[in-house]
Structure 1
Amino acid sequence: MQEQYRTVAREGVHEIEINKSRFLCALAPAATEEEAQAFIARVRKEHPTARHHCFAYVLGADGSVQKASDDGEPGGTAGVPMLQMLLRREVRYAVAVVTRYFGGVKLGAGGLIRAYGGAVGEALDTLGTVTRQRFRLATVTVDHQRAGKLENELRATGRAVREVTYGSGVRMEIGLPEADVESFRAWLADTTAGTAGFELGGEAYEDA
């Protein structure tokens, strides 16, 4: 798995106008093709009178799933430049839809390529991106007496505390970079005098 990837910081829309044509670029994070397609369908529904809804998306931390559509524009002038902009910016798990309201002036192939790619680039600049880091999930179990102090120390050392559950003992779900697992195990044993339980789980990505 990739150690980290960059994605869209939030869902949003950015508009540019070129020769009286309006280009509205809607961007959103998307975890799956189903999510990406649902977002594309939603944008189409929001702009039923627009002539074109071109899209591109990149899924997988390694960019393994890619798709682009010109939606009626001349071949290669819309979806591909949009996709290329996402890849050039190293954006993953994201979908872009550019809705065009034709203004009556033809832009030509070069103009369309610049417009569609540029709309995505400007939208990324406006909405921003975030880097997500791969973490190993782990569960720490400790008695109630030590729990408060341990949680404070975890947060103070920058550990990602995801969830705390109180029962007969206290369970803390945390995220650890893979390289830190063994050093954390030693730190935990030292900090709690060997009284804490430690169990490794699966993997996830979180904001770095």
Structure 2
Amino acid sequence: MNDQYCEPARETVTETKVRKSLFIAHVCICRDETEARERIRGISSEHRQANHNCWAYRVGTLKREEYFSDDGEPAGTAGKPILGAILRQELTNVLVVVTRYFGGIKLGVRGLIEAYGKAASEGITASGKISLRARTGYEIWMPYDMVKLVERLLDTCDTGGDFRSSEYGEYVTVKCAVPLECSESVEKTFEEWKNSRRINGWKKAG
């Protein structure tokens, strides 16, 4: 299972002028449709005086959802080229809203497609991108003498640093986020340890 994906490294706002029209590209990091729709409403409200607020988003790490809108521009001239810019960079968890303030010169169908695609591409380039891994969360309870063994297991599957934390009480509780590629083997090991009473228990966590 390939658990790797890319999303924007940062949120940006960039401006592009095409034949006196101003195109403002807002690149936002959104990890679900609800968040994307809220950001669209916010940007559209902020730029309510603009002629158009066209957009496209792609969200999800395993199952991807894609939507776009021309917001009154001729069909296929705005939302689709914006989505095309997202797909060319193989991004997910991204929303791009391109706001247009009309400059008085009509661009035509081809001109609009090129202008919206260019604005979106420049915004995405300015945002950069980072490669991440989809993960499953776990919580494990264990006696103190099992801590190093559990940590060694997690270290072998890229689950250290920010992806792991420990709480110490009567028992040790480890919370971690394991790459999906490793989840099956990790769960099998946890279950074996539980059955042999080497750990107190484990569960998937949100």
Same fold (TM over 0.5): yes
Q: Distance in 2 between matches of 1:81 and 1:63?
A: 22
Q: SS state of the match for residue 95, structure 1? A: strand
Name the counterpart of 1:140. 140
Offset from partner CA, 1:161-188 (integer Å, 9 cap, x none): 33322322221111223444537949xx
Structure 2 residue corresponding to 1:174, chosen from 151, 159, 176: 176
Q: In 2 relative to 1, CA 133–156 (structure 1 residues): closer, same or farther, beyond 3 Å?
A: closer
- Asked if structure 2 preserves the Cα contact closer than 8 Å seen for 1:136 and 1:200, the reply is no
The one-letter code matched in structure 2 to 1:125 is T
Q: SS state of the match for residue 15, structure 1? A: strand
Q: Distance in 2 between matches of 1:166 and 1:98?
A: 49
Gapped runs of 5+ residues in structure 1?
Answer: none
Q: Distance in 2 between matches of 1:178 and 1:83?
A: 27
- Asked if structure 1 preserves the Cα contact closer than 8 Å seen for 2:15 and 2:23, the reply is yes
Counting only pairs closer than 5 Å after superposition, residues 152-167 of structure 1 correspond to structure 2 as 158-160=158-160, 161-167=163-169
Q: Distance in 2 between matches of 1:121 and 1:129?
A: 12
What is the CA RMSD across the aligned residues, in angstroms?
A: 3.0
Q: SS state of the match for residue 53, structure 1? A: strand
- Between Structure 1 and Structure 2, how many residues are aligned? 197
- Asked if structure 2 preserves the Cα contact closer than 8 Å seen for 1:12 and 1:28, the reply is yes
Gapped runs of 5+ residues in structure 2?
Answer: none
Q: Distance in 1 between matches of 2:182 and 2:36?
A: 34
Name the counterpart of 1:98. 98
Query: Cα distance, 1:42 vs. partner?
Result: 0.5
Matched-pair identity in %: 34
Query: Cα distance, 1:144 vs. partner?
Result: 5.0
Comparing 70-79 with 29-38, greater Cα deviation is found at: 29-38
1:78 has 2:81 as partner: no
1:199 has 2:206 as partner: no
